[in-house]
Amino acid sequence: MTEVPSDLEVPSFYTNKCYYPWQDMIWQKLFTGNIQNDHLPHAILLNGVAGIGKKDFAFYLAKGILCQSPVENPKNQQLEPCHSCRSCQLFSVANHPDAYHLTVPEDKKVIPVDSVRKLIQWSVLNSHLGGKKVIIIEPAEAMNQNAANSLLKTLEEPVADTIIIMLANNKQALLATIRSRCQAIDMVLPDRAMGLNWLEKQASAVSIDKEQVGLMLSLANGAPLSALSFLHNTQLDIRQFIIKQLLSIHSEGIDPVQVADELTKCSKLKSNSKSKILSMTAYDIIYWTDALVIDIVRLSQNQSQNMINNVDYFSILQTLSKDLSLKKLLQLSLLTQKAYYEIQGSININLLFEQLFIDWKNCRI
CB of 211 to Zn ion, least distance (A): 42
One character per residue 12-51, x = contact with Zn ion (rule: CB under 5 A)? ----------------------------------------
- In the shown chain, the binding pattern of residues 137 to 156 toward Zn ion, with x for contact by CB under 5 A and - for none, equals --------------------
- Minimal distance, residue 70 CB to Zn ion, in Å: 7
Q: Min. distance of Cβ 72 from Zn ion in angstroms?
A: 13
Closest separation in Å from C-beta 123 to Zn ion = 22
- Whose CA is closest to 51, among 221, 203, 196, 185? 221
Q: Kindly state the smallest distance separating residue 231's Cβ from Zn ion, in Å.
A: 32
- Is 67 or 263 the residue whose CB approaches Zn ion more closely? 67
Rank residues 132 and 181 by Cβ distance to Zn ion and give the closer one.
132
Binders of Zn ion in range 57-96 (CB under 5 A): 67, 81-82, 85, 88
Residues 147 and 140 sit within 8 Å (Cβ to Cβ): no
201: three-class secondary structure by DSSP = helix
Q: What is the C-alpha to C-alpha distance for residues 151 and 179, in angstroms, rounded to an integer?
A: 12
234, burial (CB in 10 Å: exposed 0-12, middle 13-18, buried 19+)? middle
Backbone angles phi, psi at 33, to 5 degrees: -75, -15
Report, in Å, the least distance between residue 127 CB and Zn ion. 15
Phi/psi of residue 90, each to 5°? -65, -40
Distance CA 25, CA 106 (A): 34
Our CB check for Zn ion shows the closer of 36 and 305 to be 36
CA distances from 110 to 5, 61, 102, 312 (A): 26, 25, 11, 37
- Minimum CB distance to Zn ion smaller for 85 or for 194: 85
Question: Nearer Cβ to Zn ion, position 85 or 184?
Answer: 85
Q: Count of residues binding Zn ion (CB under 5 A)?
A: 5
Taking the least distance from each CB to Zn ion, the nearer of 40 and 142 is 40
Closer residue to Zn ion, CB minimum distance, 71 or 194: 71
Supply the minimum distance, in Å, between the C-beta of residue 88 and Zn ion: 3
Taking the complex as a whole, how short is the minimal distance between the CB of residue 137 and Zn ion, in angstroms?
Answer: 23
10 Å CB burial of residue 217 (0-12, 13-18, 19+) is buried
Please, where are the H alpha helices in the chain? 12-15, 24-27, 54-66, 86-92, 113-123, 145-156, 176-179, 192-203, 210-219, 224-232, 235-251, 256-267, 282-300, 314-323, 326-342, 349-361
For residue 208, the 8-state DSSP code is -
- Using alpha carbons, select from 48, 2, 4, 46 the residue that is nearest to residue 27: 46
Which C-beta is closer to Zn ion: that of 82 or that of 93? 82
Our CB check for Zn ion shows the closer of 20 and 60 to be: 60
Please report, for residues 27, 114, 299, 308, 313, the alpha-carbon distance to residue 305 in angstroms, rounded to integers and kept in the order given: 35, 50, 8, 6, 10
Distance CA 222, CA 194 (A): 10
Quote the least distance from Cβ 90 to Zn ion, whole Å.
10
| CA 349 – CA 355 distance, rounded (Å) | 10
Binding site residues, Zn ion, CB under 5 A = 67, 81-82, 85, 88
